[in-house]
Chain A
Amino acid sequence: MLDILEQVGINNYIYLSTLLFCVGVLGILYRRSTIVMLMSVELMLAAANLLLAVFSVYHQDVSGQVFVIFAMAVAAAEVAVGLAILVSIYRNIGSIDIDKLKNLKG
């Protein structure tokens, strides 16, 4: 594993992960469909996981990869809850457009 990392170069991994993260952030900020926003959140999580795995190999420390497994399990659970909330929102107001969710306006 370490030689693959050495061939590609750790810098490139960091760039990729940063790129992925920024795509996620922009997705959240600019897309109005809640389901796409949820996907963007997943993208950000994936970026963080990737970085964790890379550094785990780099430092030759397995705990980073264990952490990734945990993060993915939590992400899966979070998606289940998030989608359930989405379904419930859709049933209530017939739309998942983020701009229509303005009931909390002060």
Chain B
Amino acid sequence: METGLVLLLLIFPLVGFLINLSVGKKIGRSLPGIIATAAVTGSFAISLFYFIQILSTGQAIEVHLFQWVAFGEFSVNLAFVLDQLSLLWLLVVTGIGTLIHIYSIGYMHDDENVDRFFSYLNLFIFFMIVLVTANNLLVMFIGWEGVGLCSYLLIGFWYKNQQFNDAAKKAFIMNRIGDLGFLTGVFTLAYLFKTVDFATLKLALSTTTTPETSALLGVAAFCLFIGAMGKSAQIPLYTWLPDAMAGPTPVSALIHAATMVTAGIFMITRLNFLFDLTPDIQYFIAIIGAVTALFAASIGIVQTDIKKVLAYSTVSQLGLMFLALGLGAYQIAVFHVITHAFFKACLFLGSGSVIHAMGGEQDMRKMGGLKGVMSITYITFLVSTLSISGIPPFAGFFSKDEIMLVAFQNSPILWVVAMLASLLTAFYMFRVLYLTFFKEFRGTSEQKKHLHESPSSMTMPLIVLGVLATVGGLISLPFGYSWLNNYLSPIFSGSDVVEAHGFSTEQMVFMGVSTLIALIGMSLAYYKYMTKSTVPEEDEKITGFAKVLYNKYYIDEIYNTIFIKPIYAMSNFFNSIVESIITGVVFGFALIAKGLSAPAKALQNGSVGFYLSFFVVAFCLLIICLFLV
């Protein structure tokens, strides 16, 4: 019964994928969306069931299907585990997944390939479930690769546009670099402990501490972190995420904001017992996280494409999560993943709603004044903006504040960096809000006529997510009243921080500072875009440092020069020189064979009479040899 139900959880989206893939074209425009949504809803219902069950029992459920790989003492099982961590993630993935599926029914209504879209979305959900429920690193790797594939397919969904295809390829290749790291990490762990099973690893790690092992552990942790860098878009592998906005907006919301990009955080949280043993790597993670947070936020403040701003904001928020991970505050990172999933999904879906109304326009310079026309979108966007900026009592405030607190306690420098990042976050988010929804409309009159509030299938998920972005903070209140910390405590063995219940002045002051910073960012944006009613300048007029920021620090160009061009040069070299040598050798052999066979060729002259005479003569000779000689 248990195995069956857990399998159903996995199989629902897979079946949805298969149905839409095989007969999606024949069942009309609206049915694929309904099937896909039903599939995800089914998974969500099962997740919810197990979540409620684990709340009362506290027992993780393990499902062991069969032995997958076995050689020597090393074996891997195809097994899944539903514990506190994976159930939490399952709820986020399938819950937000359901909402975004519903949203997509409205958003993708006019697309000719709506069936393909929904089949990919279902496939993504399936792989994401595999990823989070995996019982060992190899099964996790199936999901890890699978979500990367779906991300590739969905970024390049509008395949007729070459730029979008390039973005898809970029995402895929960047992820492959990370995957290589991930695999190396897995192999190192398998070499050290002859197992990739989480539970066994945990046990093995708690007992072995020879110097050689701990050196290799560092290598493993570092390699796994490279995997996380690729998947969760951290410096230096982040450049694919902003480009990934080429995909349809629901995809950006689901995959490139709420779920897939948090896979790196999930993996590190899952392996917390490993990272706890490698403090150097942890410190490195914290630094990378903080630097990414600031770096991406600084790019975000000058972008004019509404989705690009949100993309950089995602990179920046992921950076904050990694900062928390690096400081060993796993539950805080998980908390921020959850609140971030709420408000960022809401922001993306809101921007999708805006883009839908604008007829595909994404440039904020051509928007403005949408507040009156799209009131639901506006309110939910406002709520999420307040939440991401860290203004109490919205969800983002609580999670961000905890990250700041833990950063401050460990390293004031990282705290300053993170604070700057959140100042910039508040600034650019309110910049988006003011530019999009306030002042006069700056688009064409044709667009103005077309402006409308989105259909209810799109606004309903917005409202739900807006509510979640408001109240999501309740799951982990400060001053020791954190439900989440208690809930997750079985996952973290070493780091169960017992916080004292009650108010501390330090924490209060700290919250005040955080809020103040957010308010400063907000008022700066208000001053610049409301009081002075500035509109970002045309591309050519941007000068100075803003130009550097607008061009994303020229990172793409630098990568192009350092990596892509040399590889192209090398490929050209091989193509022109080495290739011709190899071809020459192969052709040479062919020519020799051809020359040698020229006399024999004359026999094959095509005359049937000739063949027959040959046949008779040969047969006679055979007879003579056999009987007469």
Q: Check A102–B609 contact: CB distance below 8 A.
A: no
Set of chain B residues within 8 Å of A29, measured between Cβ atoms: 609, 612-613, 616
Q: Does chain B have a CB within 8 A of A98?
A: yes
Q: Check A99–B605 contact: CB distance below 8 A.
A: no
Set of chain A residues within 8 Å of B606, measured between Cβ atoms: 101-106
* Contact code string A77-106 (vs B, CB < 8 Å = 1, else 0): 000000000000000000000110111111
A49 to B607, CA, bound (A): 30
- Choose from B604, B612, B613 the contact partner of A106 (Cβ within 8 Å): B604
* Contact code string B177-209 (vs A, CB < 8 Å = 1, else 0): 000000000000000000000000000000000
Provide a sorted-by-A list of 6 A–B residue pairs whose CB atoms are within 8 angstroms.
A29-B609, A98-B607, A99-B607, A99-B609, A102-B606, A106-B601
Set of chain A residues within 8 Å of B1, measured between Cβ atoms: none
Chain B positions within 8 Å of A, measured between CB atoms, are: 601, 603-609, 612-613, 616
Q: Check B616–A101 contact: CB distance below 8 A.
A: no
**Closest B residue by C-beta to A37:** B612
Q: Does chain B have a CB within 8 A of A28?
A: yes
Set of chain A residues within 8 Å of B603, measured between Cβ atoms: 106
**Closest B residue by C-beta to A102:** B606
Set of chain A residues within 8 Å of B601, measured between Cβ atoms: 106
Nearest CB on B from A29, distance (A): 5
A32 to B603, CA, bound (A): 20
Set of chain B residues within 8 Å of A32, measured between Cβ atoms: 609
State the 4 A-B residue pairs at the shortest beta-carbon distance, nearest first. Answer: A105-B606, A106-B604, A102-B606, A98-B608
Q: In the complex where A25-B616, A29-B613 touch, is A101 in contact with B605 (Cβ < 8 A)?
A: no
Set of chain A residues within 8 Å of B612, measured between Cβ atoms: 28-29
Q: Check B609–A106 contact: CB distance below 8 A.
A: no
Nearest CB on A from B2, distance (A): 65
Nearest CB on A from B239, distance (A): 58
Given contacts A29-B612, A104-B606, A106-B601, 18 further A-B contacts (CB under 8 A): A25-B616, A28-B612, A28-B616, A29-B609, A32-B609, A98-B607, A98-B608, A99-B608, A99-B609, A101-B608, A102-B607, A103-B606, A104-B604, A105-B604, A105-B606, A106-B603, A106-B604, A106-B606
Instruction: Pick from B601, B604, B606 the residue with the most CB of A within 10 Å.
Output: B606
Instruction: Pick from B604, B607, B613, B616 the residue with the most CB of A within 10 Å.
Output: B607
Q: Check A106–B607 contact: CB distance below 8 A.
A: no
Set of chain B residues within 8 Å of A105, measured between Cβ atoms: 604-606
Set of chain B residues within 8 Å of A28, measured between Cβ atoms: 612, 616
A98 to B605, CA, bound (A): 13
A101 to B606, CA, bound (A): 7
Q: Check A98–B604 contact: CB distance below 8 A.
A: no
**Closest A residue by C-beta to B620:** A25
**Closest B residue by C-beta to A32:** B609
**Closest A residue by C-beta to B609:** A98
Q: Which of A26-81 touch B at CB < 8 Å?
A: 28-29, 32
